[in-house]
Structure 1
């Protein structure tokens, strides 16, 4: 039987090689090959505590009872549904798959959204900068790849003027939404860190 030599065209070899590079080059949202460390659990918890603290500071919301205002959530992501743990039931449907990559991408988009909003907000007393923004940036920089975010620099050219009623109201609503979303993020970080997402769903 005659031997058949494998034959690859230069274009085919280039295609295979390029495909391999493309796959390797895809950025992972989490550091350490997608693993969530104990430190990340602590960073997420500290962020939630600082948001909760900020919501009790009346000087941020002068003239507004923030506790009675509505919540403004980031509607550009699907974090609560995408990050639902395996075995959870929503509308009578049990989740059997946990897509960690998709979940983390939504979390990254949430953190990026809220960071940009808060970094551009007037903060004359540096309350947000030294609490919420500080812990948010630590969480983002230490637990996610830097390339996952658009810009982590704080704006220095925010016009220094007394905040308007609408600005304080917007801050209140967005911060309340961020608190709710951060509760979800804390649950996800704890869930992934525990390894429960790799266990089979019990029927």
Structure 2
């Protein structure tokens, strides 16, 4: 937002960066890697690994949580922490919100704008996957 970053943070103004590209993430963990599907990954219940998908969602949230620690919106950080806590399967605990060090340079604020937009888009994917996971077996 204008008050937070000092400029209007619009999707048209930034190049999105996938900070989860080199690790397990929602897209990789929740869709088929079958090369026959091309650019449109397929979901098939018979080969679908729910725990792997949930782990991918958790890893996405963890990566974005780490990237957004300098963002002063503690409500956003706490929400991510709650989501991670709900997904946690092991004995590890969700990270606690860290006090933001503040963003000083314009370059840092532009990167934050990009990360926030990428996270917004990823949350749509996560929401759709969670809806898919909770849907009856018959609806695909």
TM-score by length of 2: 0.75
Say what the alpha-carbon RMSD is for the aligned residues.
Answer: 2.9
Asked if the contact 2:17/2:118 (under 8 Å) is kept, the reply is yes
Deviations 1:103-148 (A, max 9, x none): 11111111111112212x152xxxx212x21221222223434735
Deviations 1:44-90 (Å, cap 9, x if unpaired)?
xxxxxxxxxxxxx21223245432211112212342243138xxx93
SS of the equivalent of 1:137 reads helix
Q: Which residue of 2 is the match for residue 175 of structure 1? A: 116
Aligned length: 131
1:111/1:147 Cα in 2 relative to 1: closer, same or farther (>3 Å)?
farther
Compute the TM-score of the two structures, normalised by the length of structure 1: 0.54
Q: Mind listing any 5+ residue stretches in structure 2 that lack a counterpart?
A: none
**1:152 pairs with one of 95, 98, 116:** 95
SS in 2 for 1:147: coil
Q: Decide whether aligned partners of structure 1 residues 146 and 155 sit closer, same or farther in structure 2, where only a CA change above 3 A counts.
A: farther
Runs (4+) of structure 1 exceeding 4 A deviation are 92-95
What is the CA–CA distance in structure 2 between the aligned matches of 1:112 and 1:152, rounded to whole Å?
A: 9
CA radius of gyration, larger in:
1
Q: 2:86 aligns with which of 134, 142, 166?
A: 142
